[in-house]
Structure 1
Amino acid sequence: MIMKITPSEYKILIVDDVTSNVLLLKVLLTNEKFNVITANGGLQAIDLVDKEHPDLILLDVMMPEMNGFEVAYHLKQNAETAEIPIIFLTALNSTPDVVKGFQVGGNDFISKPFNKEELIIRITHQISLVAANRIILAQTEELQKTIMGRDKLYSVIAHDLRSPVGSIKMVLNMLILNLPSSKIGDEMYELLTIANQTTEDVFSLLDNLLKWTKSQIGRMKVVYQDIDLIQLAEGVVEVFAMVAAAKKITIRTEVPEKIVVYGDTDMMKTVVRNFLSNAIKFSNMGAEILLSVEIKGDMAVVNVKDYGCGIDEESQKKLLHTDTHFSTFGTNNEEGSGLGLLLCKDFVQKNGGELYFVSTKGQGSTFSFSVPLKK
C-alpha cells in the first residue's frame, strides 16, 4: 500500500547530461505536482544538492566528467546528504551494474527507455518512504520532548517536596516518641501513629521517585566500592525496627559475621530498605520477618522473607514490569506506588546482580537480590 502524499511538498532533482531527457522528466513530474530542479552533470548535481536539499534524486549513470555511480558515492559519504534516496536512470541492466549501483547507495533502478507509469510508481514509492520517515522523526522528537518534560516534572516534584516532608517526618517522629498514649489518650495516639506512618510512606515515595527519575535520565551513576554487606543490612534493620514495632512485628536476622561485596552503598541501602518496608507492609500484626545473607558462587545474596498475605500468581507476572506498574495494599491498607521494586530492580542490575522473588498467596513472600563479592 502506497502512503498518501502531497507531491508539492517534495523536491526532486533530475540529473542527466542529455537535455531532452531532462525536459521530458521535468514535464512528467511537474504534471504530477512535484517540485523539480535539474542538473546537466555530476558536479552541478553535487552543488545543487548542498544548496537545495532535494527529497529524491533521479540520477543518470552514463555522464561525462563524473558518472552517476561516482556522484552517488560522493553523496553517501556526506552525513548531510547520505539519507537522500537515489533512483538510477540507466540503459545498463547487467547484474554487475545493478549490484554496483546498490553498493554505492542507490535505492532503485529505472531502465531507459522508461515507462511513464512505472516511473511515477517508483518515484511515488520512494517519496512515500521519505514521508513516513519524516513522520517517525517528528513523532520521535515529540516523544523525547514529552519524556524530558515528564522526567523534569517528576524531579521537581520529588526534590521540592522531599525537604518539607522530611521536616514533618522528623517532627512526627519526635512527637510519637515523647507523647505516649497515657498522656494524650488512645484515640489521639492512634491518629498520631497513622500520621507518622503516612508521612514515612510519602517520604519514601518521594525518595524513590527522585532516584528513579535520576536513574532514568542517566544522572545517577554507580559509585563502586567495597561494602560490608552485613553491616549495611543490620544498619537498615535497626532503622526499621521502630516502624515494625508499630505493627508489633519482629525483624530477625540470620547473617554471617562479615561479607564484603563490590557495589554502590546508597543503591544497596535503597534495595534493602524497600524490601523491609514491603515486608512490614504485607505482614500481619505480631508476625516475624527474616533477613538472611548467604554466599552463592561469586555472589552474595540478600533475602527478606515475610509470612504475610503473599501475592497471587496473576499479580506476580505484573510485579516487576514497567508497562504494568503493579501495586497493591498492605495488611493495614497501606498504599503502595509500585515504584519501589522497579527502582530496586534497576539498581540491582546496575550493580551486576539480579532481583527475584518467590511468593505464595496467604503464606508470604521472599524477595532476594544478588551483588558481586569483592574479588
Structure 2
Amino acid sequence: MKAKASLLLVDDHQELLEFIADDLQEEYQIQTTNNGIEAMQLLESENYDLIISDVMMPEMNGYELCHHIKENISYAHIPVILLTAKNSIESKIQGLEFGADAYIEKPFSPAFLKAQIASLLKNRLKVKTFFINNPLSQIQSIGQNQSDQEFLKKVDEIILEHLDDPKFNVDRMADILCISRPTLYRKINVVSSLSPNELINLTRLRKAAELLTQRKYKIYEISDLLGYSSATHFSKNFQKQFGLSPSQFQENQKSIASGD
C-alpha cells in the first residue's frame, strides 16, 4: 500500500485549520500548527511533502515562513501553498517572490485546493521519474526552485569529480557540502526519490551515456574510466537502469543523429 503524502497546515484561525485538516485527512497524513515559528520548529524534526500556510499570522507571517523554507537547503524542495484573504495582484506577486509554489485566495473551494495539492505532488513525481529513466536528462531538471537546482548541480559536480575514486562515499560528499550525513540523505531522497548511493550510481551511468553518445571510447574503455570492476558489470547496471544495453543505446543515438 502506497504511503500517504505528509502535509503541514499552518494557520492561526483554529476553525479554518480544523476544516482544512478534516477535508484532507482521508487522502493525506496531516499535521497542524498555529504559527510560522512552530512550523519551522516542526521542520527540524519532521519530513513533509507539502506545506499549506495562511499569510496573515502573528509572530511570523506566511510570506516570512515561505522565505525561510525556500532559503534553507534542508527544506527548499518542499512545495508551499499560501492562503490569503488579500486578492490584489501585488499580494500575489509578493507571494511568488517569496518562493510560493501556489497562491490561493480565500474564500476558496476545497476541491480547488485538493486539485492544486495533487497537481504539485504529481508534477514532482513525473519530473523525478523522467530523470531516473532518461540517460541524458540533466539533474537540475528535478529541482523545483533555484535553491534546489543549485544544490543538485553542486552534488552532480562533486560526484563527477570523484567517479574514479573508489574511496568516495556519502560521508565524503557530506563533508564537502558541509552538511550532516542525515541531512544530505534526507535532502537527496526527497528531491530525487533516490538514496545518495543510488544517485552516485545513476550519475556514473548518466556519464557513461554521455560518453557512449560521443562514440570516442569503446564500451570496455568507458567501463574502466568510470571505475567499474568489469565491462560485464557495467553493461548489466546500465541495462537495469535504462532498459537498454550500452551497445543498444549507442546504436539508438546513432540513428537519432542520422535522422533514421
TM interval, short-chain normalised: 0.5 to 0.7
Tell me the TM-score normalized by structure 2. Answer: 0.54
Q: Percent identity?
A: 29
Note if contact 1:12-1:55 (Cα within 8 Å) is conserved in structure 2.
yes
Match of 2:17, SS state, is helix
- CA shift digits 1:84-111 (9 cap, x unpaired): 0011010011111101111111011111
- CA shift digits 1:243-272 (9 cap, x unpaired): xxxxxxxxxxxxxxxxxxxxxxxxxxxxxx
Shift of 1:52: 1.5
Q: What is the aligned partner in structure 2 of residue 129 from structure 1?
A: 123
CA distance in 2, matches of 1:42, 1:75: 10
CA distance in 2, matches of 1:97, 1:218: 53
Residue 61 (1) aligns with residue 117 (2): no
Q: What is the aligned partner in structure 2 of residue 256 from structure 1?
A: none
CA distance in 1, matches of 2:114, 2:53: 15
Residue 19 (1) aligns with residue 14 (2): yes
Letter in 1 for 2:11: D
Q: What is the aligned partner in structure 1 of residue 5 from structure 2?
A: 10
Letter in 2 for 1:19: Q
Q: What is the aligned partner in structure 2 of residue 52 from structure 1?
A: 46
* Selected match of 1:35 from 29, 34, 41: 29
Note if contact 1:87-1:110 (Cα within 8 Å) is conserved in structure 2.
yes
Question: Superposition pairs for residues 1-375 of structure 1, below 5 Å?
Answer: 8-31=3-26, 33-136=27-130, 139=133, 145=201, 148=204, 209-215=219-225, 217=226, 322-324=250-252
Note if contact 1:92-1:111 (Cα within 8 Å) is conserved in structure 2.
yes
CA distance in 1, matches of 2:108, 2:206: 53
Note if contact 1:12-1:54 (Cα within 8 Å) is conserved in structure 2.
yes
Provide closer, same or farther for how the CA distance between residues 86 and 214 of structure 1 changes in structure 2, counting only shifts above 3 A.
same
Note if contact 1:12-1:36 (Cα within 8 Å) is conserved in structure 2.
yes
Provide closer, same or farther for how the CA distance between residues 324 and 138 of structure 1 changes in structure 2, counting only shifts above 3 A.
closer
CA distance in 2, matches of 1:210, 1:151: 14
CA distance in 2, matches of 1:66, 1:147: 40
- CA shift digits 1:185-244 (9 cap, x unpaired): xxxxxxxxxxxxxxxxxxxxxx955544455x399xxxxxxxxxxxxxxxxxxxxxxxxx
Tell me the TM-score normalized by structure 1. Answer: 0.38
CA distance in 1, matches of 2:205, 2:6: 35
Match of 1:72, SS state, is helix
| CA-atom RMSD in angstroms | 3.5
- Structure 1 residues not aligned, in runs of 5+: 153-206, 220-320, 327-375
CA distance in 2, matches of 1:139, 1:208: 23
- CA shift digits 1:293-337 (9 cap, x unpaired): xxxxxxxxxxxxxxxxxxxxxxxxxxxx944587xxxxxxxxxxx
Letter in 2 for 1:21: L
Structure with greater helix percent? 2
Letter in 1 for 2:7: I
Residues 111-120 or 19-28, more deviating: 111-120
Note if contact 1:55-1:130 (Cα within 8 Å) is conserved in structure 2.
no
Match of 2:100, SS state, is coil
- CA shift digits 1:61-92 (9 cap, x unpaired): 00011110001111111111001001101001
CA distance in 1, matches of 2:98, 2:116: 19
CA distance in 1, matches of 2:207, 2:124: 31
Note if contact 1:151-1:213 (Cα within 8 Å) is conserved in structure 2.
no
CA distance in 2, matches of 1:325, 1:16: 52
Shift of 1:38: 0.5
CA distance in 2, matches of 1:134, 1:209: 28
Letter in 1 for 2:33: A
- Structure 2 residues not aligned, in runs of 5+: 135-193, 209-216, 229-248, 255-260
Provide closer, same or farther for how the CA distance between residues 122 and 143 of structure 1 changes in structure 2, counting only shifts above 3 A.
same
Shift of 1:134: 4.6
CA distance in 1, matches of 2:95, 2:47: 21
- CA shift digits 1:18-76 (9 cap, x unpaired): 11111001100013x21000010010011112221110111100001111000111111
Structure with greater strand percent? 1
- CA shift digits 1:96-140 (9 cap, x unpaired): 110111111101111111112112111111121233345346557
CA distance in 2, matches of 1:325, 1:149: 16
Provide closer, same or farther for how the CA distance between residues 151 and 79 of structure 1 changes in structure 2, counting only shifts above 3 A.
closer
Match of 1:62, SS state, is coil
CA distance in 2, matches of 1:208, 1:127: 41
CA distance in 2, matches of 1:149, 1:125: 30
